[in-house]
A = this chain, B = another copy of it.
Amino acid sequence: MLPNTDPKNKSRLLGELGDPKVNSKATYPQGAKIFGEAEQADYIYQVVKGAVRSHKLLSDGRRQIGAFHLPGDIFGLENGALHRFTAEAIADTTLRLVERQSLERVAKTDPAMVRALLTMTTDNLQHVENHMLLLGRKNSRERVAAFLLEMNGRVTGPSVVALPMSRRDIADYLGITLETVSRALSDFKQKGYLRFVDATQRQIVVLNADGLTEIDQ
């Protein structure tokens, strides 16, 4: 469901742009800004290590996170010249950078490249469309259950969901408050659907995915 989880897309893009000259790596400490909304989109990015959040802000500070980007994910891909989100490192993060120009150059002569861009954009679109349904019509328990199931397929070690982001980040992704996220998680724990591994409460063992799926609808 999340953007760019299909390995085909990743290898496609990296294959096309495998030339080390156009690639470089950069590291960002926890909390660092990678790019800002409406800034020039000079690069696109792939997460090597760590995690990234993309968000939009209202003038009074209300925040909506549009996506979390985990290792392997590509983000910051714009068709226009400007970024439409602000991207920040959730944890200490290593990114691979690709110059937008070089991408454009390849795309000009290689229709397969444009195809690859279209596929990635469509994957993003699909994720956001599903998220719209969650934000518009699901209640708080359904939102948190959906989030756990989404993450369960992505940041799982041996049946453990290791969340890199805070409760506030989760809340701003789900369009609720951090307290409501916390209450929902406590509720699921009490129902035996999950278990916390560590004291920071960011490692979660999903004991009953079917139960969560049922709650999510």
Spell out A's residues near B (CB within 8 Å): 56, 58-60, 62-64, 66, 78-80, 84-85, 111, 114-115, 117-119, 121-122, 124-126, 128-133, 135-138, 172, 174-175, 217
B128 near A118 (CB under 8 angstroms)? no
Distance between Cα atoms of A135 and B122 in the complex (Å):
21
Q: A58-B138, A118-B121 are in contact. List 4 more A-B contacts (CB 8 A).
A: A58-B133, A114-B118, A135-B135, A137-B175
Chain B hits for A59, CB < 8 A? 217
The minimal Cβ–Cβ distance linking A122 to chain B, given in whole angstroms, is 4
B217 near A129 (CB under 8 angstroms)? no
The minimal Cβ–Cβ distance linking A173 to chain B, given in whole angstroms, is 8
Q: How many identical subunits does the complex contain?
A: 2
Q: Which of A59, A63, A79, A129 has the most CB of B within 10 A?
A: A129
Distance between Cα atoms of A84 and B122 in the complex (Å):
11
Chain B hits for A80, CB < 8 A? 122
Q: Which of A62, A66, A118, A138 has the most CB of B within 10 A?
A: A118
Distance between Cα atoms of A174 and B136 in the complex (Å):
7
Distance between Cα atoms of A133 and B136 in the complex (Å):
10
The minimal Cβ–Cβ distance linking A36 to chain B, given in whole angstroms, is 15
Distance between Cα atoms of A85 and B175 in the complex (Å):
22
Residue of B nearest to A135 (CB): B135
- 26 residue pairs of the A-B complex, CB under 8 angstroms, read A56-B130, A56-B133, A58-B138, A58-B217, A59-B217, A62-B137, A62-B138, A63-B137, A64-B132, A64-B133, A66-B129, A79-B118, A79-B122, A111-B111, A111-B114, A114-B115, A114-B118, A117-B118, A128-B129, A128-B132, A131-B132, A135-B136, A135-B175, A136-B174, A136-B175, A137-B175
